[in-house]
Chain A
Amino acid sequence: MDRQSLAVAVAQILVRHLPQSADEETVAAVVADLVAHIESRSAAPESDDRRLVVVTVMGKNHSGIVHAFSEVLAENAVDIVDINQTLVHGNFAMMMIVDLTGARCDVQGLKAALKKRGEEVGVQVYCQYEDIMRAVNRI
């Protein structure tokens, strides 16, 4: 299955589960997004040269948290590789894997900037090299 048809298949599944407001136009947009996403990911260097860092944000849920942190990342030219958010026992939890290759800061700089923003927004921020996740969770 090529990427295009994979994306169509994915989108069709999405449509089946999405509210009825999803029309063909939306599906086309979703397909375009998916293709761009998949292509950008496969083009990204997968070598160990990437400096991946796991950023976890936790705290009381309120509006603007994602924005607050993505702003800090953008200011430092840090690429978000993966992002996921959820509510744990009513608390907001966001996990991001970011790539520091080509960023304007090192991990300590990023940590300091994120912690500062965390204090302003009233949430906890943790910042660890991805190596630790791999070491602990993968054989």
Chain B
Amino acid sequence: MTYTRREILQTLRMTELEHFDIRTVTMGINLLDCGHDDPSEAGRRIHAKLTRLAADLPRTVTEVADDLGIRVANRRIAISPVALVHTRPEPESYVSIAKEIDRAASEMGFDFVGGYSALVQAGFTDADRALIASMPEALSTTSRLCSSVNAGSSRNGLNMDAVRLVAAMLKETAYRTRDRGSIGCAKFVVFANAVEDNPFMAGAFHGTALPEVVIHVGVSGPGVVCQAIRRAGPCDLRELESVIKQTAFKITRVGELIGRIVAERLGLPFGIVDLSLAPTPELGDSVGEVLEAMGLERTGACGTTAALALLTDAMKKGGAMATSAVGGLSGAFIPVSEDAAMIAAAREGALTLEKMEAMTAVCSVGLDMVAVPGDTPEDVLAGFIADELAIGVINHKTTAVRVIPAHGKGVGDSVSFGGLLGEAPIMDIRTLSCSGFVRRGGQIPAPITSLRN
């Protein structure tokens, strides 16, 4: 037999029993040719281009997934940062474009389109300011649009004016979507070192150096990793790393296979595989559970950062062996609301925001899908975001914050978004003032490590 019985049965167990799925196939689309002075014309061009290029994606992905016997959870679109699409630089212009994008997504059956974004790590253009000002309305009047701001980078330092604008914007968005758990904020992420080929929401956008259209894949697989760790039993850490690496190899191979076939069938270039372990709120599909399978009583216990460091590094090593097209964020995601074990740990108080901040120094992203009290002062939010982004700027890695200051809620409450966005217990945040620092405004200069030439 070409394959041993063991190989076939193991593969089947992975695909059928262990929640293995490909998290997303994301089509990146350049929209920089859709600009027009008149925002309604720009919106019309964007709608037409999205519809022309992306309409076949959902069907093709479903066909490929069925042929291979693999579930693909999401089909998504990443577009050029909308602040770069030329139009009249006024907030209303961008709101009308946002609605066109949302309409196109809804007509084609996409749940999210990412790229309502501005890259302001070294300062604002007029368009950037208008786009950020439009976000509360855009995020509260659309349902499928995802938005981001890149406020810092290891080359440029940290734009604290942008951080403050984002904090104010989040408060307003939370208020405008207060009847839905402040869900507007769940569709927005602020970055340091944002990557241009990230296939995952809410931070996906189509970078300016990418091809016209491209297919990216984001893998998933915490369930598969968790089961492999459990089967390995009480082995030592070197052995544990080996088990994770081998599993990451398999997961990544499947991701690349799906991406290549989808790209081939659509006649498009294949971009990258993002190796990130991405959880869902479903039981058995949790990164927190993986950490607990490694031997922690609860996520947030002492040892959590070390375990996460081992996990993330092993995922990268195994994944890098499996594909030559690694990209995106590639690490492990630790969103609170989208991960059953993280939700439980946060609810019990085992997982605090400070511990999460430490964890983000060794995983791929950051303080993701954390809910804080609705009355958290704007400056505190700005300081909270600045802390996280500073970790990224100094350490040459991507960090991000997706925080929901849930309007009208306090510690002990929770907000439920349903679906993949899950449910977030409101976590305690230090409200000691940092106004004297954040209100100084301006730019935290680029770190000395930016001088590498």
Is the beta-carbon distance between A95 and B11 smaller than 8 angstroms? no
Indicate whether A132 sits within 8 Å of B8 (C-beta atoms), given known contacts A54-B3, A137-B3: no
Is the beta-carbon distance between B3 and A133 smaller than 8 angstroms? yes
Within 8 Å by CB of A128, from B1, B9, B69, B256, lies B69
Chain B residues, Cβ within 8 Å of A126: 12, 16, 69
Chain B residues, Cβ within 8 Å of A56: 8-9, 12
B168 interfacial contact with A, CB 8 Å: no
Is the beta-carbon distance between A86 and B2 smaller than 8 angstroms? no
Is the beta-carbon distance between B69 and A88 smaller than 8 angstroms? no
Residue of B69, B254, B257, B261 with most chain A CB atoms under a 10 A cut-off = B69
Indicate whether A128 sits within 8 Å of B2 (C-beta atoms), given known contacts A54-B8, A135-B257, A136-B250: no
What 0/1 pattern do residues 92 to 104 of A give for CB contact below 8 A with B?
0101010000000
Indicate whether A93 sits within 8 Å of B15 (C-beta atoms), given known contacts A126-B69, A132-B257: no
Chain A residues, Cβ within 8 Å of B16: 126
B179 interfacial contact with A, CB 8 Å: no
Within 8 Å by CB of B7, from A93, A111, A127, A137, lies A137
What 0/1 pattern do residues 74 to 87 of A give for CB contact below 8 A with B?
00000001101010
Interface positions of A from 108 to 139, Cβ below 8 Å from B? 108, 111, 126-133, 135-137, 139
Chain B residues, Cβ within 8 Å of A35: none
Chain A residues, Cβ within 8 Å of B12: 56, 126
Is the beta-carbon distance between B67 and A129 smaller than 8 angstroms? yes
Least CB distance from A63 to B in Å reads 21
Chain A interface, DSSP helix/strand/loop, else mixed: strand
Chain A residues, Cβ within 8 Å of B192: none
Is the beta-carbon distance between A136 and B14 smaller than 8 angstroms? yes
Q: What's the Cα separation between A121 and B31 when bound, in Å? A: 54
A34 interfacial contact with B, CB 8 Å: no
Chain B residues, Cβ within 8 Å of A54: 3, 8
What 0/1 pattern do residues 10 to 47 of B give for CB contact below 8 A with A?
01101110000000000000000000000000000000
Chain A residues, Cβ within 8 Å of B66: 108, 111
Indicate whether A132 sits within 8 Å of B68 (C-beta atoms), given known contacts A56-B12, A88-B9, A126-B12: yes
Instruction: Name which residue of chain A comes closest to B8, CB basis.
Output: A95
Q: What's the Cα separation between A132 and B9 when bound, in Å? A: 12
Interface positions of A from 53 to 92, Cβ below 8 Å from B? 54, 56, 81-82, 84, 86, 88
Within 8 Å by CB of B69, from A81, A127, A137, A139, lies A127
Chain A residues, Cβ within 8 Å of B15: 128, 132
B95 interfacial contact with A, CB 8 Å: no
B52 interfacial contact with A, CB 8 Å: no
Chain A residues, Cβ within 8 Å of B261: 131
B409 interfacial contact with A, CB 8 Å: no
Instruction: Name which residue of chain B comes closest to A127, CB basis.
Output: B69
Instruction: Name which residue of chain A comes closest to B7, CB basis.
Output: A137
Q: What's the Cα separation between A139 and B321 when bound, in Å? A: 9
B253 interfacial contact with A, CB 8 Å: yes
Is the beta-carbon distance between B69 and A135 smaller than 8 angstroms? no
A107 interfacial contact with B, CB 8 Å: yes
Interface positions of B from 60 to 85, Cβ below 8 Å from A? 66-70
Chain A residues, Cβ within 8 Å of B70: 128, 132
Instruction: Name which residue of chain B comes closest to A52, CB basis.
Output: B2
B5 interfacial contact with A, CB 8 Å: yes
Q: What's the Cα separation between A137 and B66 when bound, in Å? A: 20
Is the beta-carbon distance between B11 and A133 smaller than 8 angstroms? yes
Q: What's the Cα separation between A52 and B80 when bound, in Å? A: 39
Least CB distance from B320 to A in Å reads 13
Q: What's the Cα separation between A40 and B396 when bound, in Å? A: 58
Chain A residues, Cβ within 8 Å of B14: 136
Least CB distance from B72 to A in Å reads 13
Q: What's the Cα separation between A137 and B15 when bound, in Å? A: 13
Least CB distance from B297 to A in Å reads 32
Q: What's the Cα separation between A93 and B70 when bound, in Å? A: 20
Least CB distance from A92 to B in Å reads 13
Least CB distance from B310 to A in Å reads 23
Chain B residues, Cβ within 8 Å of A127: 69
Q: What's the Cα separation between A135 and B67 when bound, in Å? A: 14
Indicate whether A136 sits within 8 Å of B11 (C-beta atoms), given known contacts A82-B1, A86-B5: yes
Chain B residues, Cβ within 8 Å of A82: 1-2
Least CB distance from B54 to A in Å reads 23
What 0/1 pattern do residues 2 to 43 of A give for CB contact below 8 A with B?
000000000000000000000000000000000000000000
Instruction: Name which residue of chain A comes closest to B69, CB basis.
Output: A128
Q: Would you give 18 A-B contacts (Cβ < 8 Å), ordered by A?
A: A54-B3, A54-B8, A56-B8, A56-B12, A81-B2, A95-B1, A95-B8, A97-B3, A126-B16, A127-B69, A128-B15, A128-B67, A129-B67, A132-B68, A132-B254, A133-B11, A136-B254, A137-B11
Instruction: Give B residues with C-beta under 8 Å from A.
Output: 1-3, 5, 7-9, 11-12, 14-16, 66-70, 250, 253-254, 256-257, 261, 321
Instruction: Give A residues with C-beta under 8 Å from B.
Output: 54, 56, 81-82, 84, 86, 88, 93, 95, 97, 107-108, 111, 126-133, 135-137, 139
Sort A-B residue pairs by CB-CB distance and give the 9 closest, nearest first: A128-B69, A135-B253, A135-B257, A137-B7, A136-B250, A132-B68, A84-B1, A95-B8, A82-B1
